Structure 1
């Protein structure tokens, strides 16, 4: 093997090696930039995104953001979210006055009165219901203040842990916001009307879902930040019965009874009127028959005559 042959052999080996390296590098690059197809619902609640290639109605490729499942355990980095409520039943001397006191307790605690109703029960005793919303931090002190208004006949408190739902809704909001941001970026690069319409339709769908979960988040925050206390009020039964003697009521009852008797007599007379008519006809017939009957001859002893 001469010198020239050796040089040619070395150049061939180098060319083969360079070609192999270039092929390997190209394959790795394509694998890195080509997104793995992910099957996921665009309306799902996720927080991490990849991209997937779709085809618009015009045949042009469009990169569509697809949500993927995010890692992490629910509740990490999130405080416990508790919805606290209480139901209290009180016996008070004056329902109207107690309602005013409860309203004062709510205002002092930085809360407000949600609903108020005052009425009477079947015994005409005053009753009332008041629902107040109190900042969560002042829930215990407000509840203690309510119990001092009257005699507690029943009380119950509830604490609903909504941490998992809160984290889930939070993740959904982040996911939908990221989706809308991705679609807006795609919209800027769209040049065909069909592509713009297709992307806008996706944006509208995601925006609807975002509005829904945002409303749910507002509701949860309202229930968590402000606890609810519902107070039912009633007055005690008076001594000697629910009502005292009422002279006017007695007169009214007597008049009502009198007219009741008159009504009963009228109903009775009308009911037996057919019998009276039949009886009258029968009696008249009998009298008529008796008058028309020939008189019987009188018989007896001479002494009797």
Structure 2
């Protein structure tokens, strides 16, 4: 047998074994592909006169609960609009206030309008979300329900997103404050402080939005429109007092019109009187014709 036919397969096997051993012992990087790489925060030097925004990709939680592992309760904003017919609007407003305070809520606003002999009102109640259904049932009981509409708005995604942004801003502030402690040059201190002010302003606005959203979630809104029934036979006629008041108003209105007419025609009256006076004066200056006695006329 030829020796080359024996050594060639052995040499091939040896090369494959060495290659496999080299792959097994090759050192891996500390930031291998097994995990996500964390972006490195870039900070400009004082020569560049600026500080780059701090990256928060590794610290800010994701808005989705599946990636963050944080379970957030569903956030619902409950609202209701009702129209009720009641016998007495002021009494019904007091009853609504009692319902709200009895459910640990409050009367947010109320307005009463009078039209003829009927009154209407618009009342806004804020009650805890846990008391929404019970409070709504009590509100329906104070009068005859003409219309009702309820809604529940799911704001869970918005709530999670706002909290994630809040955490991101807080992390940025922490990192910028650490940079501020290490800064020595005046340019670096000013640049970092500008970034701190920017992030703090954004954080304050975000917290304001969160407060409003939490208020809508914690306290449900019930808007009630109250109205009294129309008088039997439609609108009632005028009372004697209304008639007298209308007559007095008409009298003074007529006096006002006469005064306006007199003052409007006064220049014409003055000119007419002056012309008539001149005419009378010129006529008085003319000599009167001489009339012969009756006897003389007969003799002639």
Report the TM-score range of the alignment, normalised by the length of the smaller protein.
Answer: 0.5 to 0.7
- Cα RMSD for the two superposed structures: 4.1
Alignment counterpart, residue 88 of structure 2, candidates 65, 89, 94:
94
User: Larger % of strand: which?
Assistant: 1
Is this contact kept in 2: 1:51–1:63, CA < 8 A? no
Corresponding position of 2:184 = 192
Counterpart of 1:55 in structure 2 is 44
Say if 1:75 and 1:100 are closer, same or farther in 2 by CA, change over 3 A: farther
**Aligned 1:92-241 pairs, distance under 5 A:** 92-121=86-115, 123=116, 125-188=118-181, 190-194=182-186, 195-241=188-234
Between the aligned partners of 1:261 and 1:64, the Cα distance in structure 2 is 79
Gaps of 5+ in 2: 1-25, 284-300
Structure-1 residue corresponding to 2:7: none
Deviation at 1:256, TM superposition (A): 3.2
Partner SS for 2:64: coil
Task: Check conservation: 2:44, 2:50, Cα contact below 8 A.
Answer: yes
1:53 touches 1:61 (CA, 8 Å); kept in 2?
no
Please state how far the C-alpha of 1:99 moved relative to its aligned partner: 0.7
Structure 1 unaligned residues grouped into runs of 5+: 1-23, 37-48, 289-305
How many angstroms does 1:192 deviate by?
A: 1.2
CA deviations on 1:40-80 (whole Å, 9 max, x unpaired) are: xxxxxxxxx74323222257998963133878663542222
Distance 1:61 1:248 in 2: 80
Deviations 1:87-117, CA, capped at 9 Å, x for gaps:
1122211111111100110011111111122
| TM-score for the superposition, normalised by structure 1 | 0.66
TM-superposed CA distance for 1:186, in Å, is 2.7
